[in-house]
A = this chain, B = another copy of it.
């Protein structure tokens, strides 16, 4: 795990393939991650096929990693397998509800992160695509996900063909609270965000986008209220369609 200290997201991959047995071994080792009642409420869809990657690209806003990576992994919250198991064992399952979705999403995300930590220890590079939650219905259709299966995370995977700079992170004091939540005064906000705001790259980014502050780049361009509200509606629709709401 010492590799975690030098971790960076990898978006460019070499042509070298990821051996199938390595991929399976890592997916199997990651199963040691804690899971609700040992039910393992997750599934992973592996995309190798070029045509399938081309279909997955648009829901991921055509980020070039999807078609450029040797492997794309879609991690799904999955209560279907457990539900079918119950139905085949004279048991009446009750997992078509919101709590069960979050239980399964938790299992899937924890599993995904252990997988990434293991893969990076092997020298593989990963990129986490947050876009999975933006267009879930399109991904559901491409991967043919049935009721009680919901995609929650996508990873592109391959051998690194770049060595980008490590991004900044907030000081640990900014995210740790002792005993109760210690709210953020303007002073503390200034202190915690100073390093990030003063980085040359971020100053340049603000200027490039014609904004006054770095926060405005996020609120006005990258993650806007309008987009978030539209995508929230789509996400809730997808949860209804998959039987979780």
Distance between Cα atoms of A236 and B101 in the complex (Å): 12
Is A124 an interface position by the 8 A CB rule? no
Q: Which of B42, B93, B133, B222 contacts A37 (CB 8 A)?
A: B222
Instruction: For the complex of A and B, list the 4 residue pairs with the smallest distance between their C-beta atoms, beginning with the closest.
Output: A94-B225, A89-B215, A113-B113, A91-B215
Question: Is A57 on the interface with B (CB-CB < 8 A)?
Answer: no
Nearest residue, chain B, Cβ from A129: B34
CA of A44 to CA of B99, assembled, Å? 22
Q: Mark A94-137, 1 if CB is under 8 A from B, else 0.
A: 11011110110110011011101110010000111010011000
The answer on a CB contact under 8 Å between A9 and B34 is yes
In the complex, which residues 181-209 of chain A have their Cβ closer than 8 Å to any Cβ of chain B?
A: 181, 183-184, 186, 189-190, 192-193
Bound Cα distance from A42 to B113, whole angstroms: 15
Which of A58-66, A144-152, A157-165 faces chain B? A144-152
Q: Please tell me how many copies of the chain the complex holds.
A: 2
Question: C-beta contact mask, A26-64 vs B, less than 8 Å → 1, else 0?
Answer: 011111111011111011111111001000000000000
Residues in B whose Cβ lies below 8 Å from that of A102: 105, 133, 152, 235
Q: Which residues of B contact A143 (CB under 8 A)?
A: 177, 180-181
Contact among B9, B94, B183 for A146, CB-based, below 8 A: B183
Are A114 and B215 closer than 8 Å at their CB atoms?
no
A52 closest partner in B (C-beta): B179
Subset of 21 A-B contacts with CB under 8 Å? A24-B176, A27-B176, A31-B175, A34-B128, A38-B167, A40-B170, A40-B175, A42-B175, A43-B175, A43-B181, A44-B176, A88-B190, A89-B216, A90-B216, A93-B225, A94-B226, A97-B225, A102-B235, A106-B152, A109-B113, A110-B112
